[in-house]
Structure 1
Amino acid sequence: MSDIIVVCPRCGGTAVVRPQTDPTTALPWFCPRNLSCLACAYSATWQPEGSSSCWGGPFDPYFRRPLWLQASCCGGKTLWAFNREHLELIDGYVRARLRERGPERPYTSLLEKLPAWIKSAKHRDEITRTIQRLRATLPSEVGERRMPR
């Protein structure tokens, strides 16, 4: 679990939520996090308290800030990604003409959990255009102020 790009609560620019420790350690989802904005110097810290993270929507699971990378798509659905890598993963999946399942494994991958409307081939072109729009809002440096369209 790497950096998550969010909307800064102070200035509305891009901010980043990043782990305070090495995210490859055991239970990386529950390590302390920092939220920081280079544009306005806002910062905050999140400490794990039980299962206080909340996953499953267009907001970061720690500070509950709106994700920077989100846009309306396919008739009012929201396409969202945590960061550049997540956006590229979704893009690669959507563009793939053949989606083969890997070997049996005891867990479900992130791609298998995508909503049916993203997996549907009939939405491929619209989702690809939306991903291109989101990619254009990515700052070269976190903290740069570029609002999503």
Structure 2
Amino acid sequence: MDAPRFRDPQLRIEDLADEPILVLCPRCGGRASVTASRLTCPACGLVREDPRPDFHAWNRPIDPFFHEPLWLRADCRGNTLWAFHERHLDLLERFVAAKLRERGPGDDPGMTLVARLPSWMTAAKNRDEVLRAITKLRATLS
């Protein structure tokens, strides 16, 4: 995907928690999902409730509710590339692939998800490697 232009949709990382976050199941290692109230694994039937939200976990490769490792994570340039789910992965891919990146009209553009991405991910010299990692992550969704 080679999008010439990306306009910041003014999302914060917390905005992405409105759909299930994909994690590694702590019981079977399969793909499980987490919401603000529950962790479920369709492979082994695990269900956990009573999450312990940790707002410091929002910017790490774990879910912020049950603190399980994210399903969508990969080593890239000595760092960890991660996403909560396919919509998050799509956003990262569109941003990284774009040759022109525009800020949105928000009041505080420095606090948006894309404005806070690390420089190793946003550097043009790393574009191809980051996009390859995103492609590998996308393959784990099917």
Name the TM tier (shorter chain).
0.7 to 0.9
Distance 1:104 1:61, change over 3 A: closer
After the TM superposition, which segments of 4 or more aligned residues of structure 1 sit over 2 Å from their partners? 51-54
**Unaligned segments of structure 1, at least 5 residues:** 20-32, 140-149
Distance 1:63 1:47, change over 3 A: closer
In structure 1, how many angstroms separate the alpha carbons of the residues matched to 2:60 and 2:137? 16
Distance 1:70 1:52, change over 3 A: closer
Q: 2:132 aligns with which of 122, 129, 132?
A: 129
Q: Is 1:16 equivalent to 2:30 in the alignment?
A: no
Determine the structure 2 residue equivalent to 1:34.
Answer: 38
Q: 2:49 aligns with which of 45, 59, 64?
A: 45
Determine the structure 2 residue equivalent to 1:146.
Answer: none
Determine the structure 2 residue equivalent to 1:97.
Answer: 99
TM-score by length of 2: 0.81
Higher RCO (CA < 8 A, seq sep 6+): 2
Q: CA deviation at 1:47?
A: 4.3
For residues 48-87 of structure 1, the aligned pairs below 5 Å read 52-53=54-55, 54-74=57-77, 76-87=78-89
In structure 2, how many angstroms separate the alpha carbons of the residues matched to 1:104 and 1:85? 21
In structure 1, how many angstroms separate the alpha carbons of the residues matched to 2:112 and 2:46? 34
In structure 2, how many angstroms separate the alpha carbons of the residues matched to 1:82 and 1:95? 19
**Unaligned segments of structure 2, at least 5 residues:** 1-16
Counterpart of 2:48 in structure 1: which amino acid? A
Distance 1:104 1:42, change over 3 A: closer
Aligned residues: 123
Q: CA deviation at 1:87?
A: 0.4
In structure 1, how many angstroms separate the alpha carbons of the residues matched to 2:133 and 2:25? 22
Q: 1:3 aligns with which of 12, 16, 20?
A: 20
TM-score by length of 1: 0.77
Which structure features the higher share of helix residues? 2
Distance 1:122 1:65, change over 3 A: same
